[in-house]
Amino acid sequence: MAEQADVIIIGAGIMGSATAYQLARRKYGRVIVLERDGICSGSTAMASGGVRHQYAHRIGIQLTQQSIVVYENFEAEFGVDPQFHQNGYLILQQTEEERMVYFRHSCKVFNGEVMTRPAHSEHTDVDPTLALMRRV
C-alpha cells in the first residue's frame, strides 16, 4: 500500500467513494480510501434507492438536489443505467398533529427551496398527507 497520499478518506461508503471519485476527476493528487470492511458495505448497502430533499440543513437539501443531476447523467458518465425514475416522494402522516408538525417544519426548513403540497389519497385512510413534488 502507498505510504504517502495527498488525501486519505476513511470509509468507502457512498460519501467516501463519491468524494474520492470527485477528487480523482479533478486530478487532486494521490487519493487513498481506507475501508475496514467491503466497499459500500455499511449503510450504503441498505439504502432503498429513494431520493428526497427534506433535510434539516440547507447543505443536505443542496446535496440531494445535486444528486438528482448525477442520477440523470449517470448512464452517460458511468455506462450503467441506474433505473432512475422521478415519481415524486410521498410522506404520510397518520394524525392531524403529525401533519401540523411536519408542515411547520417544512415551511421553516425548506424555505422555498423544496416545493411541498398536501395530497388527499382516495386509496388510503391516512388523510391528509403531504406529497413532495419534484425539486424546484
Which residues in this chain contact ligand FAD in the complex, by CB under 6 A?
10-16, 34-37, 41-44, 46-51
Please identify the residue of the shown chain whose CB is closest to the bound ligand FAD. Answer: 13
CB closer to ligand FAD out of 71 and 103: 71
- Cα 27 to Cα 35: distance, rounded to the nearest angstrom: 21
CB closer to ligand FAD out of 34 and 100: 34
The minimum distance between CB 115 and ligand FAD, in angstroms, equals 19
CB closer to ligand FAD out of 3 and 125: 3
- The β-bridge relationship of strands 129-132 and 31-34 is unpaired
- Cα 134 to Cα 28: distance, rounded to the nearest angstrom: 34
CB closer to ligand FAD out of 106 and 127: 106
The minimum distance between CB 66 and ligand FAD, in angstroms, equals 13
Residue 89, Cα to own-chain centre: how many angstroms? 12
The minimum distance between CB 89 and ligand FAD, in angstroms, equals 10
Annotate 82-124 with three-state secondary structure.
CCCCCCCEEECCCCHHHHHHHHHHHHHHHCCCCCEEEECCCCC
The minimum distance between CB 62 and ligand FAD, in angstroms, equals 14
